[in-house]
A and B are shown apart, each in its own frame.
Chain A
Amino acid sequence: MNDKLDMAIDGINVQGRKGQTVLEVCRENGIKVPTLCYHPNMPPYGGCRLCIVEIENMRGLPPSCTTPATNGMKVSTHTERLARVRKTVLELLLAYGDHNCIVCEKNGECELQSLVYEHGIETVRFKTDYAPKTIDESSSMIVRDHNKCVLCGRCVRGCLSVQVNGVIDIAARGSDSYITTFDNSPLKDSNCVFCGECVAACPTGALSYKQSRFKGRAWEINKVPTTCVYCGVGCQLELNVKDGQVIKVTSNPALPGPNHGSLCVKGRFGMDFIHHPERLKTPLIKKHGKLTEASWDEALGLVAEKFGKIKAESGPDSLAVFSSARCTNEENYLLSKLARTAIGTNNVDHCARL
């Protein structure tokens, strides 16, 4: 079966496959078309009108994200006419919002900011009667700032099509449109499960992490890919580190893993235990019924002495080890080895059954 398509994009001959959209063919061939409402994990929406292209023998400026690619298609992605329309679209978005980049959490990784910059938009020609909108800070995890929303619908599709929760939707029409929950209740009182798929999907600062606000900006953060420490799914996530502190967790569909870029509330918002003030910082030894601070040498010496004595007096099977389903394979291997060698018992188990 031949499902190959031959196309010309910006005068270059490229190949696509049947079933792909024009945008997908462009992306696969390294041709950058501006987008805002498009997300590779979600069904196309065709709402933002930034991915418009010109196609020979086709009327108007069709959005490439919803236009099926066909054999022999001749596509232009960067004409003067397209640039003019895109600029107008971006200016209208700026006119109907409050995009104050200076204090925005998305500064430096905002798709709207990048597009406005790339199109060289220094001033907005439109004067509107834009009135500031509300900010939903009801939840301790997610902030929704309607003033920075471009109504791309990515949060809605992330919630409905990726997580299949359907907690939010677009309400009202035209420039009155806004993202809402059922009954327009604050996020905290809605049936939101705080997986944060919406925050990850948002191209602007309309959705952000509450606890990491003002703690670090994109270029100050080092993202360390790792495996989530909660349930057995093994989601791949990024610890966002600034100045030796994990300030937030982000997902990344590009990380190969079982979660395909999704996370749940625990993986995304449950990592504040790492820097919790109650973390144990020194060894402790019980003296007169009270745990008191001790040196490593003192603590380890006491462990060896006591375990050695019990082993000598009562045999190795009078000792036992609980290993941990929370620790790494390396650590569990060493514990299994320690039990069987240093102690000489098979009394080793962990909470698999609990």
Chain B
Amino acid sequence: MTNSIEELETSDVILLTGSNTQEMHPVISTFIKRGVVSGKTKLIVVDPRRIDLVDFAAVWLRQKPGSDVAWLNGMMNVIISEGLYDKKYVEQRTEDFDALAKAVASYTPQRVEEISGIPAADLIDAARLYAAAPAAAIAYAMGITQHINGTDAVKSVANLAMLCGNIGIESGGVNPLRGQNNVQGACDMGCLPNVLTAYQNVTVPEVREKFAKYWGVDRIPEKPGLTIVEIINAATTGQVKGLYVVGENPMISDPDLHHVKEGLQRLDFLVVQDIFLTETAALADVVLPASSFAEKEGTFSNTERRVQRVRKAVEPPGQARPDWEIICDISSRLGYAMKYPNAEAVFDEMTGITPSYAGMSYERLDKGGLQWPCPTKDHPGTRYLHKDKFVRGKGKFHAIEWIPPAELPDAEYPFLLTTGRVLFQYHTGTMTRRSEGLNGCAPECFVEVNREDAARLGLANGEMVKVTSRRGSLFAKAQIGEVMDLGMVFLPFHYSEAPANNLTIAALDPQAKIPEYKICAVKLEKGAGAGA
């Protein structure tokens, strides 16, 4: 997030898209709802599902999945043609406005209506509402990014925010809501194939030299590595032979699971370090018992870049050990010695080579979290980014063209499937499915179907349905209502006995390599093999 969670309570307008915030980030939704109820905030929801937050929205645009770049360009088309953009901001703080204006010129509300299904008048209303706000925030999640053009959609979001002068101000910004406790931190720490800590690029010789010296090795490899989905592909072809998986469960979370299994089984050697015998661990050659967050010291970085302490409350069970200790042992046995007295010593070493974390210490964090960048010991942390100036100097507009999704419904697979999470479950269910209270509220997989579609198929609520894509099928209970639009169904991906990712497509965004989880084509069959 460029801005902070609590600022969402005082935004004049929030444009929320591709985020079912009330279920995925319930506490963030409370800030949004309080802002709306107080009369301060006007909420624009752009989502193909009728999520609960639509009840709080001034405007709800129901776009066809995969049309995000089109409607974002359409909003900018309206804002530019009506002269509603922040001319002073665009002139002083951005570049390439002309290229943007040219690119969005053809995205008239009428054309966008054809692509997205959003009525032209509604799009114009939303554009005017967003543009008129003194401080407007955009919040989004995987609904924007899990597409073959996810990177483009994110750039379009940034375009819109800059166009109206909303980046670098309180209660504005571009705010991706991150779905995992420390996904921000894992990125910040350089667990990405192309960057080291704080996004220092491995292709830059000075960066590699600095790290090689700091870590006491001859060299850091210069060729960017493979992403998760590429690693699975490389395992299938035999190019990757050994894999060390720490606290991940690709056998549920990755697209096209048959392919994932094939890749993992093809490996010469698979090591899985986790707290449960996950579906992935079951395939491993060696399984290492790790500690949960309650059994170790450390830090997590949240979605608003706030680094906060994790504290040990209880002992790990049996011989289980904290992950950091296991990693050190493996490294040392591989010939690169790692020895630290405690997690704090690791943190201190890390801050020494991570500029945005340089001013942090456990002592400071014990008084409360700090938001990066926090470059010096007396820096208070950064509430919102890009104040007065972007990191790169001027904010760059990108001219983006819309492209259609990889796989759309056809005669054989007439429904569009989108996937996601539910309130009471979490990701691959490793933890929540073992929680009596949570699992009791959402014990089994369901497929959400529009009422009219259900009537046409003769489906009753709760009836077992077979959902099939070109890659696989599963059985789920029909949940009939108005949440889904006609021709569209939703599956949660938590359930190993009905894994939605058996159906999803491994079509990737060419830049971010993110899979298109939000769109693939399926067919529904009533009763077929019920009880299976």
Contact = CB atoms under 8 A, between A and B. Distances in A.
Contact of A342 (B288, B320, B330): B330
B190 A333 contact: yes
A98 B224 CA distance: 68
Contacts of A256: 367-369
A203 to B, nearest CB: 21
A190 interface: no
A288 interface: no
A306 B298 contact: no
A282 B319 contact: yes
A322 B243 contact: yes
B331 interface: yes
A328 B364 CA distance: 17
A264 B323 CA distance: 27
Q: What is the interface of chain A mostly: helix, strand, loop, or mixed?
A: mixed
A28 interface: no
Interface residues of B, number: 147
A307 B334 contact: yes
Given A241-B314, A260-B6, A349-B226, A265 B423 contact: yes
Contacts of B322: 331
Interface stretch (A50-58, A69-77, A101-109, A294-302): A294-302
B327 A334 contact: yes
B328 A224 contact: no
Given A140-B440, A263-B27, A317-B225, A281 B187 contact: no
A273 to B, nearest CB: 4
Nearest to A295: B319
Contacts of B241: 310, 314, 318-319
Could you say which of B177, B192, B241 has the most chain A C-beta atoms within 10 Å of its C-beta?
A: B241
A354 B334 contact: no
A302 B435 contact: no
A227 B244 contact: no
Interface size class of A (residues with CB under 8 A): 35 or more
B320 A274 contact: no
A229 B335 CA distance: 33
A326 B181 CA distance: 6
A291 B287 contact: yes
A308 B368 CA distance: 42
Interface string B309-336: 1111111011111111011111101111
A335 B327 contact: yes
Interface string B258-276: 0000000000110100111
Interface in B328-355: 328-331, 333-336, 338, 343, 346-347, 349-350
Given A233-B28, A328-B182, 17 more contacts: A239-B294, A266-B423, A270-B437, A273-B276, A279-B317, A281-B319, A283-B286, A320-B235, A322-B228, A324-B182, A326-B182, A327-B246, A330-B343, A332-B185, A334-B327, A348-B192, A348-B193
- When A and B form their complex, which 8 residue pairs have the shortest distance between CB atoms, in order from nearest? A281-B318, A234-B302, A328-B298, A324-B247, A346-B225, A232-B178, A256-B368, A304-B333
Interface of A: 139-141, 161-164, 193-195, 210-211, 222, 224-236, 239, 241, 244-246, 256-260, 262-266, 269-276, 278-286, 291, 294, 296, 299-304, 306-308, 310-311, 314, 316-354
